Amino acid sequence: MSSSSIVARRMRDVPLNVFAYFSMLANEFGAVNLGQGFPSWGTPDFVERAASEALSSSQTHHQYTRPAGEMQLAGYLGNMYSELLGRSINGLDECVVYSGAQHGIACALTAFCEPGDEICVVEPCFDAYMKLASVQGIKCVGVPLRPKISNPKYAGDFVIDAKELSDAISERTKLLILNTPQTFLGKTYDRNELEEIADVVRSKHDNLVVLSDEVYEFMTFQKIEHERFATIQDMYDRTISLFSAGKTFSTTGWRVGYSVAPPHLSKPLADATALTTFCAPHPFQRAVHESFVHVEKSYPNYYEDVSNELEAKSTRLMDALSTYSLTYYSPTSLLTSPRKHTGQTSLRPIKPMGGYFLMANCSAIRGNEPFSVPEPQSDIATEQYDWKLCEWLTREVGVVAIPASSAYTESTREQWSDEDVYVRFAFCKADVDIDNAVTRLLEGANRFDALSP
């Protein structure tokens, strides 16, 4: 019996996860993993203590909770987000806890979309939006953030076109998925941008729900205030705000995410949770609750400290990428000495406004690279140049980046020009990992300067 004959067609069409693939390559080639967004600087001590206590303090912590979440955690989240959203929130009716924020995305698609429906995503986006929609027979329509200036250098230089967004939303669109701070580009929407998006939502059918993915809510840079879509007038009643304790406390392996939404949206989400995992891990829910309490009572600057640390790391990586270049030479100078220098290729990093990641434009390298870009070694890879470049970076330079084409729909990629070549680097790493990556990038550039024809 062949595996292709027993696997459901919807799963046969889903490629291997891009993050898992490049993490596998990182392990195989001993590369520094700046691809996948897991922190490598360690989990805070108070968070680890909370987990240890939750595991040992009570036998009941090893048993199920209600599907919507452990009651103390839900109650705390209700109080916490009452303040953050500026409204009274009943945590038991308006908060749902998931086995990770990605599980929350899956529950939202299950609860509110039928096969044949559509969702609209703003690109670049977390690829799980597209893949989870695909396996449920839901069409994903992408609307890309576009640079408002040539040669953009800042995530805020990328904006959404309200008319393009409006045209992409039809009567079949059930979910509009936003992400702020944004997972690939690091863009954070300002209040005016969210107001424009809200105007589009108001102009559409009443059954359109907004999933606002805000897992990096406490990680904004340059003293930027995180703006919450649910606080826009009339938007709370049609918005699911999604968050991640794993991101907030550097515990991505705990798989604890949660949402805040009105009861008429939260109940179907809780029902979907009950049908899948039934509940998130009880001891980790308890630990998350105790960690929030610790921050409130004993470490009120925690969120600011995390933001400052991440911003410093992003600046360190930005500076290194900004100076990274590969010298290339005329092929006709191979037998001459000195060889004829014809220029340099470089990366053009985009300064993020928040989150874990930054993107770099690699279009200057394309066609000028003093190396052979390998054909992708996996059937999950596409013919996109950024895939080939990331394979080369991993195998030959020893640094992992993620091809940004994985964060766009096919229809958007088909519109790209030669300028649209981006890769993503994660800076949510220990300083030693970032320094190691920088060293390898510079050594790689020098090595290929010496060997290029």
Chain centre distance of CA 28: 24
Q: Is the pLDDT of residue 271 over 70?
A: yes
The count of domains in the chain is 2
Written as six digits, the tokens of 225 are: 């205030």
β-strand partners of 32: 399
Give the number of C-alpha atoms closer than 13 A to the C-alpha of residue 191, restricted to the C-beta side.
5
DSSP code string of 361-372:
E-TTTTTT-SSP
* Chain segment 102-118, per-residue pLDDT in tens: 999 999 999 999 999 99
Whether residues 195 and 324 share a domain: the answer is: no
Give CA–CA dist 358/181, Å, rounded: 11
Higher-pLDDT residue of 161, 440: 161
Last residue of a domain, one of 282, 298, 314: 298
Helix or strand holding residue 349 (H, E): strand 348-349
pLDDT of residue 277: 95
Amino acid at 245: A
> Do residues 260 and 230 touch, judged by C-beta distance below 8 A?
yes
Q: Which range is least confidently modeled, 106-115, 192-201, 313-322, 411-420? A: 411-420
Higher-pLDDT residue of 220, 366: 220
Share of the chain above pLDDT 70, in %: 87
Whether residues 329 and 275 share a domain: the answer is: no
Q: Is the pLDDT of residue 321 over 70?
A: yes
pLDDT of residue 396: 84
> Do residues 428 and 50 touch, judged by C-beta distance below 8 A?
no
pLDDT of residue 301: 97
Whether residues 230 and 349 share a domain: the answer is: no
User: How many angstroms separate the Cα of 314 from the Cα of each of 45, 264, 378?
Assistant: 23, 40, 30
Percent of the chain as helix, strand, coil, to the nearest 5: 45, 15, 35
pLDDT of residue 115: 96
Give CA–CA dist 153/352, Å, rounded: 9
Q: Is the pLDDT of residue 61 over 50?
A: yes
Whether residues 289 and 364 share a domain: the answer is: no
Give CA–CA dist 93/211, Å, rounded: 18
Q: Give the CATH number of the domain where residue 294 resides.
A: 3.40.640.10
Please list, in sequence order, all residues whose beta carbon lies within 8 angstroms of the beta carbon of residue 206, skipping any fewer than 6 positions away: none
Whether residues 362 and 279 share a domain: the answer is: no
Burial 429-439 (b: 16+ CB within 10 A, else e): beeebbebbbe
Whether residues 276 and 320 share a domain: the answer is: no
Last residue of a domain, one of 266, 298, 330: 298
Q: Which residue has the tokens 């954070």?
A: 188
CA dihedral defined by 35, 434, 100, 229, rounded to 10 degrees? Answer: -90
Give CA–CA dist 75/92, Å, rounded: 6
Whether residues 220 and 244 share a domain: the answer is: yes
Whether residues 418 and 380 share a domain: the answer is: yes
CA-closest candidate to residue 26, choices 437, 374, 415: 437
CA-closest candidate to residue 212, choices 179, 166, 170: 179
Q: Which range is least confidently modeled, 91-100, 237-246, 331-340, 372-381? A: 331-340
Say whether pTM exceeds 0.85.
yes
Whether residues 28 and 77 share a domain: the answer is: no
Q: Domain containing 319: what range?
A: 3-42+304-451
Q: Which range is least confidently modeled, 134-148, 212-226, 280-294, 336-350? A: 336-350
Chain centre distance of CA 237: 25
Whether residues 82 and 153 share a domain: the answer is: yes
Q: Which residue has the tokens 């705000």?
A: 241
Which three-class secondary structure state does DSSP give residue 273?
helix
- Rounded to whole angstroms, the maximal C-alpha distance in the chain is 77
Last residue of a domain, one of 298, 318, 337: 298
pLDDT of residue 367: 62
Whether residues 49 and 13 share a domain: the answer is: no
Helix segments in 299-378, DSSP class H: 302-323
pLDDT of residue 343: 43
Query: Cβ-count burial of 450 within 10 angstroms (0-12 exposed, 13-18 middle, 19+ buried)?
Result: exposed
Whether residues 174 and 285 share a domain: the answer is: yes
Q: Give the CATH number of the domain where residue 33 resides.
A: 3.90.1150.10
